[in-house]
Structure 1
Amino acid sequence: MRKITIAVLALIIVGMLIPTGFSADSNVVITYGETTYGNSNYKSIVDSFFSSQTGMDIGNAGSKIITADQVNQISGGISGKTYNSNQILSSALVDLNDNDNLQVSVDKSKITTITGDMYISALKSAGITAGHVYVTSPVSATGESALAGIMNSYEEVTDVEIPETVKQAASDEIYTEAQIVDNSGVDADRLSDLVDQVKNEVSDKNVTDHDTIVNIINNYVQTNNINITNVDIENLANSIEQVQNVQGDVNYYKEQVGDLLNNGTSSGFSLDGLFDWIKSFINGI
């Protein structure tokens, strides 16, 4: 009888501790574009993709809505674009349970411009090097706005805010690559490889001079036989220079989330330890 009484008491304690809206897995967050979230058919399409790709019960994941206002805060100063509430379609799932290396799986049937490698490159520019990200949309979309949702997901899971300067630099990188693909018709994956090569050399040599970055880009453009315009090269140099200039903020962010991303843990509420305690406590009576 005493064990039953304590077991009931323990369950009451659990009920008191679980916060409203508690997710069974605090390491998984979905960010829905507000257009997608507001349309039940669109949301169902997105959820089906996430469920099929991850094998998860999507109902156990946390969720947030990314609004046009949130996207415009980033895109406005980069592209000059202003999105309406009926244009935010891209959605993303971030899973930190699978965090040995950063992976991005893109629904290529819906995301038309931004590739997985482009997201990886931009996220690494922001100091994010772990987790598995899935990106989709209910209808065709470029995927540019998804980056805001992805970074928001990492903030939600880790409870650490990404500096605005870092968000701007990562978003500018995505936008610049998308514009080059659109303007020059260059293969997106080849462009992404080029950007990675340039960023690695710029980082290794700690280059901050704009003209030097332009020369490095030109060298890789010739080596890889990629046909892009001088304007594209200038824009790419500006983007990479911006990434290089915010490395202090990137390093600060990486210090804050280092243990969380490396160990697959988050500051979110977890029942595992509590249930273990309850079990040992009851068994010990």
Structure 2
Amino acid sequence: MRKITIAILALIVVAMLIPAGFSGEANSVVITYGETTHSNSAYKSTVDDFFKSQSNVNLNNAESKIIYASDVNKISGSISGKTYSSSQILSSALVDLNDNKNLQVSVDKSKITTITGDMYISALKSAGITAGHVYVTSPVSATGESALAGIMNSYEEATNVEIPETVKEAATDEIVTQAEIVDNSGVDADKLSKLVDDVKQDVSKDNVTDHNTIVNIINNYVQNNNINITNSDIENLANTIGQVQNVQGDVNHYKTQVNNFMSGNSTGGFSLDGLFAWINSFFSWS
């Protein structure tokens, strides 16, 4: 009787310790709909048809959320000065964590006009996201910039771990800067994305934070790969990549929390599997 009483008390303690809304299992599939898309049944149907055709996911079992203009503006407004109205949030994304060995992004190129899959991958890696399959589309033509907010929101929903605001801003700045350079300079988007990825690797490897040094690294890649962008573009890229490097402490903390969650630990740092095994031991009579 005493063992049972202690076990019941332990269960009560567990209930108090586990954060509200926490689940030991990830919501492995999450869809974020742009508010414009979600409010229009024809738009939503178009987006769902793309997700059904591209992924092996039963949408009825997926968690879904709406991304509002305020969600996007909270991150991007201070970066680019661009603000979106509620009628402009069209891009939608599906994140599938069942396929979590390598990060993959499938973009509906018939609708997403500016941001490529490689650009999303680069920005998501900057945020510490390295696994899962992401699908991005829109019911009508859209640049795809606003989809990043939805994708990051999906990862938060799927893992119950918040991405630090500094990290969100750095990843968003990377997407916005690349989109502006593609629009202004007409440079090939895939070449630009590879340039950014290569420079980030060099900067990370040597822990470079000096702006002028980053500018020199970019210039070397630009010249060696015959990429035609302006000095202003190079300055903007250097600022963006410098910002990514400056938030690596926050990125590493986020990655640790996600790894803990995916391995069965709560955000409080204790193992649920171990704790429930300990409780179960009270009922094991020899």
Letter in 2 for 1:239: T
Give the 3-state SS of the residue equivalent to 2:63 in structure 1.
strand
Give the 3-state SS of the residue equivalent to 1:65 in structure 2.
strand
TM-score (norm. length: structure 1)? 0.83
Aligned-residue offset at 1:57: 1.8
CA contact (8 A) 1:27 1:266 kept: no
Could you tell me which residue of structure 2 aligns to residue 7 of structure 1? none
TM-score (norm. length: structure 2)? 0.83
Could you tell me which residue of structure 2 aligns to residue 124 of structure 1? 125
1:102 aligns with 2:88: no
1:141 aligns with 2:142: yes
Q: Identity of paired residues, percent?
A: 78
Query: Unaligned stretches of 5+ in structure 1?
Result: 1-21, 268-285
1:75-106 deviations in Å (ceiling 9; x for gaps): 11111011110000000000000010000000
Aligned-residue offset at 1:26: 2.2
Aligned-residue offset at 1:266: 9.6
Could you tell me which residue of structure 1 aligns to residue 27 of structure 2? 26
Could you tell me which residue of structure 2 aligns to residue 159 of structure 1? 160
CA contact (8 A) 1:30 1:91 kept: yes
User: Over the residues paired in the alignment, what is the CA RMSD in angstroms?
Assistant: 1.9
Query: Unaligned stretches of 5+ in structure 2?
Result: 1-22, 267-286
**1:108–1:260 CA distance, 2 compared to 1 (3 A):** farther
Could you tell me which residue of structure 2 aligns to residue 90 of structure 1? 91
How many aligned positions are there?
A: 245
CA contact (8 A) 1:126 1:166 kept: yes
**1:52–1:25 CA distance, 2 compared to 1 (3 A):** farther
**1:99–1:221 CA distance, 2 compared to 1 (3 A):** same
- The farther-off stretch of 252-261 and 217-226 is 252-261
CA contact (8 A) 2:92 2:150 kept: yes
CA contact (8 A) 1:169 1:239 kept: yes
CA distance in 1: counterparts of 2:260 and 2:116, whole angstroms:
28
**1:25–1:208 CA distance, 2 compared to 1 (3 A):** closer
CA distance in 2: counterparts of 1:266 and 1:136, whole angstroms:
33
Aligned-residue offset at 1:46: 0.2
Aligned-residue offset at 1:259: 4.2
CA distance in 2: counterparts of 1:266 and 1:135, whole angstroms:
30
CA distance in 2: counterparts of 1:46 and 1:190, whole angstroms:
28
Aligned-residue offset at 1:55: 2.7
1:152-193 deviations in Å (ceiling 9; x for gaps): 000000000000000000000000000000010000000000
Aligned-residue offset at 1:59: 1.3
CA contact (8 A) 1:93 1:135 kept: yes
1:57 aligns with 2:42: no
